[in-house]
């Protein structure tokens, strides 16, 4: 395991203040605090070369988890081993082995062209000149950065900046890549470029990637495995496909009819998710879908029939809503 977290826990103490002048004065003389649970006793392991996605709503604890694994935050309890190091005592040797890319905070020097940050990172990470030249040429080619290298960062589009951020983070050839919301605010094309690049980078170098994202497409396109986290607790650890089977053991059957069909006729076959006079979507048990499809075709005027899994967003929504008994393995 290149990353191992055991009972990792992070609590914050937050000052509580009542509104108004009286509240402000009271907080000066008698401050009150409240303990916020950001991450609670999370245990998991990640193998070298895996791409693992952290999924969870805002404030779930995803970013806190990544910052703890990168050694930025000290845990309240628990331990972790990352690339063979304790993240909080590993020092410079540990920090040379990973890269951290934060979607909403940049490391590029704002007033200078991106290549100046590349050169700075070359010095900071003590990368030899031939290695630097080779990696920059490769990264520039893969991310198509030829036209932006000479422009000041402040003149770049958000997509161009994120591509440069990634390139700057990879100059030292890290074994682990922590990506926190890498496609935040990017258009569809830029998101796809970033996703393709990250997958390709892992395939070529064998690096391990741990990413958080609000965009389900990032996770479905990239992650071999997902860790679903909410209120600081790990709710699920496994493949996305297996999640659908486990959380929603149903298939979705979309029907188009050759004439109008009454609701009562359709309801006999499963749970109706949507219905129009000539269309309907049903959910039927996964293991009975073949039999139900046969009956639908023979008993109703079906012009078209499609079977699919429920959308992953919906499945994960059920996990967050506590609709199922899915727990961390």
From the CB of 11, what's the least distance to another protein, in Å?
11
From the CB of 108, what's the least distance to another protein, in Å?
10
From the CB of 110, what's the least distance to another protein, in Å?
8
Cβ-contact 270, 262 below 8 angstroms: no
From the CB of 210, what's the least distance to another protein, in Å?
13
Whose Cβ is closer to another protein: residue 62's or residue 252's? 62
From the CB of 231, what's the least distance to another protein, in Å?
18
State both tokens at 112. 């200078």
Whose Cβ is closer to another protein: residue 107's or residue 256's? 107
Give the C-alpha separation, 44 to 329, whole Å. 9
From the CB of 58, what's the least distance to another protein, in Å?
12
Cβ-contact 284, 292 below 8 angstroms: yes
Binding site for another protein (CB under 8 A): 12, 63-64, 67, 70-74, 91-93, 95-96, 98-100, 102-105, 107, 109, 111-112, 116, 119-120, 122-126, 152, 180-181
From the CB of 123, what's the least distance to another protein, in Å?
3
């Amino acid at each position: 395991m290149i990353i191992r977290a055991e009972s990792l826990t992070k609590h914050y103490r937050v000052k509580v203040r009542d509104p108004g002048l009286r509240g402000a004065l009271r907080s000066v003389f008698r401050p009150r605090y409240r303990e916020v649970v950001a991450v609670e006793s999370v245990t998991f392991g990640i193998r070298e070369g895996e791409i693992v996605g952290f999924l969870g709503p805002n404030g779930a604890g995803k970013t806190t988890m990544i910052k703890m694994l990168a050694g930025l935050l000290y845990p309240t309890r628990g331990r972790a081993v990352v690339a063979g190091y304790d993240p909080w005592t590993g020092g410079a040797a540990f920090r040379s082995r990973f890269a951290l890319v934060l979607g909403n905070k940049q490391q590029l020097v704002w007033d200078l062209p991106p290549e100046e940050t590349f050169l700075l990172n070359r010095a900071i990470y003590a990368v030899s000149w031939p290695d630097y030249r080779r990696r920059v040429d490769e990264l520039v080619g893969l991310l198509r950065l030829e036209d932006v290298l000479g422009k000041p960062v402040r003149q770049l589009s958000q997509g161009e900046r994120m591509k440069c951020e990634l390139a700057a983070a990879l100059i030292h050839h890290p074994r682990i890549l922590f990506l926190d919301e890498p496609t935040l605010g990017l258009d569809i094309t830029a998101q796809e470029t970033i996703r393709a690049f990250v997958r390709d980078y892992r395939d070529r170098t064998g690096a391990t990637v741990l990413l958080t994202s609000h965009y389900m497409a990032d996770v479905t396109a990239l992650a071999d495995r997902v860790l679903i986290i909410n209120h600081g607790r790990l709710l699920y650890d496994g493949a996305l496909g297996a999640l659908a089977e486990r959380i929603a053991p149903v298939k979705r059957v979309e029907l188009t009819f050759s004439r109008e069909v009454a609701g009562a006729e359709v309801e006999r076959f499963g749970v109706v998710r949507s219905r129009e006079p000539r269309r309907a979507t049903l959910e039927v048990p996964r293991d009975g879908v073949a039999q139900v499809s046969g009956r639908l075709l023979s008993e109703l005027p079906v012009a078209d029939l499609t079977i699919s899994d429920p959308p992953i967003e919906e499945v994960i929504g059920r996990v967050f809503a506590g609709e199922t008994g899915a727990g961390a393995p």
